[in-house]
Structure 1
Amino acid sequence: MAKNTMMADRGVCIVGAGPAGLSMARALRWLGVPYEQYERHADVGGIWDIDNPGTPMYESAHFISSRRTSGFFDFPMPDSFADYPGHRQILRYTRDFATAFGLREAIRFDCSVTGVEQSDGGWRVSLDDGTHKVYRAVVCATGVTWTPRVPWHPGTFSGEIRHSGSYRDPAEFRGRRVLVVGLGNSGADIACDAAANADAAFVSVRRGYHVIPKHLFGIPTDEFSARGPQLPLRIERPLFKLLLRVLQGDLTRYGLPEPDHKLFESHPLLNSQLLHHLQHGDVAIRPGIAALDGSRVRFTDGGTEEIDMILYATGYDWDIPYVPDQYFQWQDGRPELYLTAFNRSHRNLFGLGYLETNSSAYTLFDHISSILAQYLHDQVHAPARAAAFDRLIAEDQPRLSGGLRFLDSARHRSYVDARAYRRYLAKLRKQMGWRQLAPGMFDHLRVQTHSRKAGVA
């Protein structure tokens, strides 16, 4: 045994104390599975803590799913929250969750995991203080928005080039001509900030998006959808598309390209402010960048603009830097994980939170972490059932698209339809004889609930 190595009790290691890591911790506590958790920052919250070094959070950031449809299972957000809570409310809510279920005690803060490798029939975890511990399982829950993706364009640019991960405050745009590259949900938010603060604001867009307002008839859009009947896709899609057309008209008149995919086949742009700024000329759409030329940016349609700042809102590369690539089967920048969590080739090395979805992720984390916890519990207390699930991990190929044909892109390799995902997990629990999520099942873990009941602003 190497020096400074301490043999653990073969418990479980959770890396990260953001929403996914906290969901996993509650599930393990629920079943009494021993675990230890490591967080490199000084507190819980992950990306929602704007003071967490490397977070992509910015001052105007809000949830793109609404309060009533988001949040952890059986722990609703306070009624005092906005329909679409801002990042400070989300951080407070996440920290209240950790406190309410007594999750802080098992977290070692200001401690980074620097390496994970197989050892002694388990997993050897290296920490930044030079020590090592061996666990029977490791759950990687450190998220997917820490490594900015910056494209290359020919030419040279004399202004400032940044990625949106470094953006924090709209004041950064004042007195400048700003080009935002990319129109995902974060890109749209930041473009609106630029529209309201910059001398001139532009957005470079290579493809069209379906734009969905945050409210329909005064109700948050996802809540409106959840309240209604669950229609077949062949009926739901044309009805929703017709509704959007009636409410918004033809968006190509504002310079937005026509989408090259059907509604719901990619993550839609959920934004109500962008159209307002386009309608008022506060921001303008431009095509893809052809080249950089000093202080000018040349576009693929031959046009140019004088620009002071280019802000790439071009997403993030997924990685798990403390785990060698050989332990995950990476394809197109995505780890190949059964049900988005279970490693098919290396037993007891998991990923939690490595998915894209068309709904709030918090409750989905609870659905999959409860299954993961019951599987780990069975390895000790019901090994035959755990072995049966091992066979599913190796062989099962579920369809989690809900009948949707997602775009053929790297991003959509890990995309799941939330309804189909929840249905399949419920079916799997029944098949395995595992408990379904039910209100009150975590109540015995609660330490305090007064802050949630009182609400937090």
Structure 2
Amino acid sequence: MDYLREIESKTAHDHHHHNHSNEKMKIRSPRRVYVPGPVIVGAGPSGLAAAACLKQRGVPSIVLERSNCIASLWQLKTYDRLRLHLPKQFCELPLMSFPQEFATYPTKQQFVHYLEEYAKRFEIRPLFGEAVASAEFDRSVGFWRVKSVGVKEGEETEFVCRWLVVATGENAEAVVPEIEGREEFEGPIVHTSSYKNGGVFGGKRVLVVGCGNSGMEVCLDLCNNNASPSLVVRDTVHVLPQEMLGKSTFGLSMWLLKWLPMNLVDRFLLVASRIFLGDTARLGLDRPCLGPLELKNLSGKTPVLDIGTLAKIKSGDIKVCPSIQRLTRYTVEFVNGSKENFDAIILATGYKSNVPSWLKESEMFSEKDGLPRRPFPNGWKGEYGLYAVGFTKRGLLGASIDARRIAEDIERCWKADAKHLAAFTRSLSPQS
């Protein structure tokens, strides 16, 4: 295509790409690949959704993935008992439903199977083992330069493309907090990304740090494996029943929002939760001032959907603790001055975006948290053909919405380019 020839011509005359000495002649230049369609960074559910929506519209793409499989977070860094927290109809990717025989809340294994079948159906074949080191828009040629390093061979490749879709998501890197005395603690300290099940902790006293959905589920799993877990609650948290009146709490909330304002739906959820779960503040789980939906909408903080952990807290099988002050060899000292001995610590402290570490751009993405500066539903599109999918703080449903928007937007540009190229080709044809 003519624009690819233009890049080659400009690159050939760019002094940065010439070797001016014998020493530079020895340096191995990265392999360069010209991509006519978008480059998608990340082969998780968001990246797969974007690739499928583009494929449906006739736009080819290349998906780069640093791991050796699709959905590496789900396959390699999640615990065995994990299930989707929302009913399957709210977690489908565009253009393909879950199998009818799957449970209402699919297991981890079922969800991974669904994603693998999704990739097969839309013929998405990511380039695995490609860790993106940098991506920068080259104004001189009007294209993105995406540089990756092969995880196994260490070979550098530069992908040159007009459109770049960032699909590495909100959960790219584990968040590991600094804890005073951590190096003194004799027992294992592991993040939930390395936790598989509570079998290895049977009979042990385990402190779980973090009271989100993961922390709550890990505590329940530890109980079921005869461990003695305690839960560090560092902040306020909304705990809601997973189901109300025979319907999923999330589904019921979405239905009510069609008819009622958010503040009234929040009041309903809190009253119903008080009826079904009791006063969580009496258990050491204080609720935020904002309602669960309003808090989610403003900050992205997800309420905990209880699947049995609260009953274990009420029975005393799980103990609630305040924040950690410091660690010693076998002891944890809490901010209220109390001390307890533990055999292990599990950090259910979540994940964060890693976009600022490789994307050389600061207009669309915040350097502070690696998320789009503009909140949903306006954070999916940036300048110069830059897009984001999977950063909505609204899970798979938000990723699906953005994937469709991105594909529609790129298709318009793709068709416009095709018309210009056809016109250019005709202008070069000999006159009859």
Please report the TM-score for the alignment, with normalisation by the length of structure 2: 0.79
Task: Give the secondary structure class of the aligned counterpart of 2:62.
Answer: strand
C-alpha distance 9-145 of structure 1, shift in aligned 2 (>3 A)? closer
Give the structure 1 partner of residue 397 of structure 2. 363
2:84 pairs, out of 55, 63, 66, with 63
Determine the structure 2 residue equivalent to 1:354. Answer: 391
Distance in 2, Cα, partners of 1:45 & 1:19: 6
> Matched residue of 2:320: which SS?
strand
**AA at the equivalent of 1:252:** A
Q: Given that residues 19 and 94 in structure 1 are in contact (C-alpha distance below 8 angstroms), is that contact kept between their aligned partners in structure 2?
A: yes
Report deviation, 1:23: 0.9
Tell me, what secondary structure is at the counterpart of 1:222?
helix
Matching of residues 55-454 of structure 1 within 5 Å: 55=77, 57-104=78-125, 107-119=126-138, 120-128=141-149, 129-155=155-181, 156-228=184-256, 230-264=259-293, 265=295, 266-320=301-355, 321-324=357-360, 326=362, 329-338=365-374, 339-343=378-382, 346-357=383-394, 361-382=395-416
Deviations for 1:105-152, whole angstroms, at most 9, x for unmatched residues? xx3233333332223320112232223221111112122323222222
Amino acid paired to 1:136: R
Distance apart, 1:269 and its partner CA: 0.7
* Aligned-partner Cα distance in 2 for 1:377–1:197: 52
Larger Rg: 2
What is the letter of the counterpart of residue 367 of structure 1? I
**How far does residue 382 in structure 1 lie from its aligned partner after superposition?**
4.4
1:215-266 superposed Cα distances (whole Å, 9 cap, x missing partner): 2233322233345553112321212211111111112232323434433214
1:327 deviates by 6.8
Write the distance in 2 (CA, Å) between the matches of 1:88 and 1:11.
32
8 A contact 2:40–2:62 mirrored in 1: yes
Q: Is the 1:13–1:138 contact (alpha carbons within 8 Å) kept by the matching residues of 2?
A: yes
From the superposition, tell whether residues 363 and 233 of structure 1 become closer, same or farther in structure 2 (CA, over 3 Å): closer
Does structure 1 conserve the Cα–Cα contact (< 8 Å) formed by 2:171 and 2:352?
yes
Query: For the structure 1 residues 152 and 132, does the alpha-carbon distance in structure 2 shift closer, same or farther, using more than 3 Å as the test?
Result: closer
Partner residue, 1:401: none
Structure-2 separation of matches of 1:199 and 1:112: 38
| Deviation, structure 1 residue 157 | 2.2
SS in 2 for 1:41: coil
Change (3 A) 1:295 1:270: same
Deviation at 1:207, TM superposition (A): 1.9
Check 1:157–1:27 CA distance in 2 against 1; reply closer, same or farther (3 A cut). Answer: same
Matched to 1:95, the amino acid is E
Shift of 1:94: 1.0
TM-aligned CA deviation for residue 101 of structure 1: 2.3
Cα displacement string for residues 156-215 of structure 1 (whole angstroms, at most 9, x for unaligned residues) = 423222222211121132232100011011111111112222542100112221111112
Q: TM-score with structure 1 length normalisation?
A: 0.75
Larger mean CA deviation between 259-268 and 95-104 belongs to 259-268
Distance 1:298 1:174, change over 3 A: same
SS of the equivalent of 1:243 reads helix
Q: Could you tell me how far 1:324 is from its partner in structure 2?
A: 3.4
Residue 410 of structure 2 aligns with an amino acid whose one-letter code is L
Q: Percent identity?
A: 28
Q: For 1:210 and 1:124, locate their aligned partners in 2 and report how far apart those are by CA, in whole Å.
A: 44
CA distance in 1, matches of 2:104, 2:54: 31
Runs of 5+ in structure 2 lacking a partner? 1-10, 12-16, 18-28, 150-154, 296-300, 418-432
Structure 2 CA distance for partners of 1:298 and 1:329, relative to 1, 3 Å? same
**Partner AA of 2:196 in structure 1:** R
Q: Supply the AA of the counterpart residue of 1:377.
A: E
Give the superposed CA RMSD: 2.3
The whole-number CA distance in structure 1 between the counterparts of 2:329 and 2:46 is 44
Deviation at 1:371, TM superposition (A): 1.7
- Given the superposition, is the C-alpha separation of residues 276 and 145 from structure 1 closer, same or farther in structure 2, using an over 3 Å criterion? same
Alignment CA distance shift 1:327-1:122 (3 Å): farther
For 2:274, what is the secondary structure of its paired residue?
A: helix
**3-state DSSP class of the match of 2:156?**
coil
Cα distance in 1 for partners of 2:319, 2:171 equals: 27
Name the CA shift for 1:362/1:327 in 2 (closer, same or farther; >3 Å): same
Cα 1:363–1:288 shift into 2, 3 Å: closer
Partners of 1:254 and 1:207 lie apart in 2 by 13
| Structure 1 Cα separation of the partners of residues 262 and 245 of structure 2 | 22
How many aligned residue pairs are there?
Answer: 371
Structure 1 unaligned blocks of 5 or more: 384-457
Residue by residue over 1:65-122, the C-alpha shift from the partner in whole angstroms, topping out at 9 and shown as x without a partner, is 1112221134221222222111111101111111222323xx3233333332223320
Please say if residues 160 and 309 of structure 1, whose CA atoms lie closer than 8 Å, have aligned partners that are also in contact.
yes
Give how far 1:272 is off: 2.2
2:236 aligned counterpart, secondary structure: coil
Q: Which shifted more, 317-326 or 203-212? A: 317-326
1:20-45 CA distance string (max 9 Å, x none): 11111112112222322222333323
Q: Show the counterpart of 1:435.
A: none
> Using the alignment, how far apart are the partners of 1:278 and 1:180 within structure 2?
13
Deviation at 1:7, TM superposition (A): 5.2
